[in-house]
Amino acid sequence: MGMAAIESKESKRLPGLTARQFFPILSKGEKAQLHYLDTAASAQKPAAVIDRITAYLSHEHANIHRGAYSLSANATKAYDNSKLRLARFLGADSEREIIFTKGTTESINLVAHSLENYFSRGDNILISLIEHHSNIVPWQMLARRKGLNLSFCNISPSAEFDLDDYKKKVEELKPKLVAMTHVANSFGTLFPVDKIVDVAHKAGALVLVDAAQSVQHCELDCSRIGADFLAFSGHKFYGPTGIGVLYANSKVHHLMEPFQGGGDMISSVAVEGSAWADFPQRMEAGTPPIAEAIALESAVDFVEGFGLKAIADYEHSLFVKAWELLSKEEGVELYGPATRHGAESGCQVSIISFNLKGVHAHDLSTIADNFNVQIRAGHHCAMPALKHLGIASSARASIGLYSDISDFEALIDAIRAARKMFR
Ligand SMILES: Cc1ncc(COP(=O)(O)O)c(C=O)c1O
381 is catalytic: yes
Verify whether ligand 1 is closer than 6 Å to residue 176 (CB atom): no
Q: How far is the CA of 106 from the centre of ligand 1 (A)?
A: 10
Is the CB of 212 inside a 6 Å radius of any atom of ligand 1? yes
b/e sequence 275-298, b meaning 16+ C-beta within 10 Å: eebebbbbbbbeebbbbbbbbbbb
Single pTM value for the model: 0.95
Closest atom of ligand 1 to CA, residue 185: 16
Out of 246, 270, 302, pick the residue that ends a domain.
Answer: 302
Q: 257, 275, 302: which is the final residue of a domain?
A: 302
CA of 185 to the centre of ligand 1 (A): 8
CATH number of the domain that residue 22 is part of: 3.90.1150.10
360 touches 393 (CB < 8 A): yes
- Residues 336, 358, single domain; the answer is yes
Out of 130, 134, 292, give the residue to mutate to test ligand 1, the one with the largest number of ligand atoms within 8 Å of its CB: 134
Per residue of the chain (423 residues), give pLDDT as tens.
445 667 777 666 555 678 898 999 998 766 668 999 999 999 999 999 999 999 999 999 999 998 889 999 999 999 999 999 999 999 999 999 999 999 999 999 999 999 999 999 999 999 999 999 999 999 999 999 999 999 999 998 888 899 999 999 999 999 999 999 999 999 889 999 999 999 999 999 999 999 999 999 999 999 999 999 999 999 999 999 999 999 999 999 999 999 999 999 999 999 999 999 999 999 999 999 999 999 999 999 999 999 999 999 899 899 999 999 999 999 999 997 655 555 445 677 889 999 999 999 999 999 999 999 999 999 889 999 999 989 999 999 999 999 999 999 999 999 999 999 997
- How does DSSP classify residue 38? B
Task: Kindly state whether residue 193 falls inside one of the protein's structural domains.
Answer: yes
Alpha-carbon distances of 374 from 33, 159, 211, 379, 418, rounded to whole Å: 11, 24, 23, 16, 15
Where residue 102 falls (left for φ over 0; alpha for ψ -120 to 50; beta otherwise) is alpha
Q: How many angstroms is it from 67 CA to the middle of ligand 1?
A: 34
Ligand 1 binding pocket includes 376 (Cβ within 6 Å): no
Q: Verify whether ligand 1 is closer than 6 Å to residue 128 (CB atom).
A: no
Is residue 4 situated within a structural domain?
Answer: no
**Identity (one letter) of the amino acid at 289?**
P
Domain match, 212 and 146 both = yes
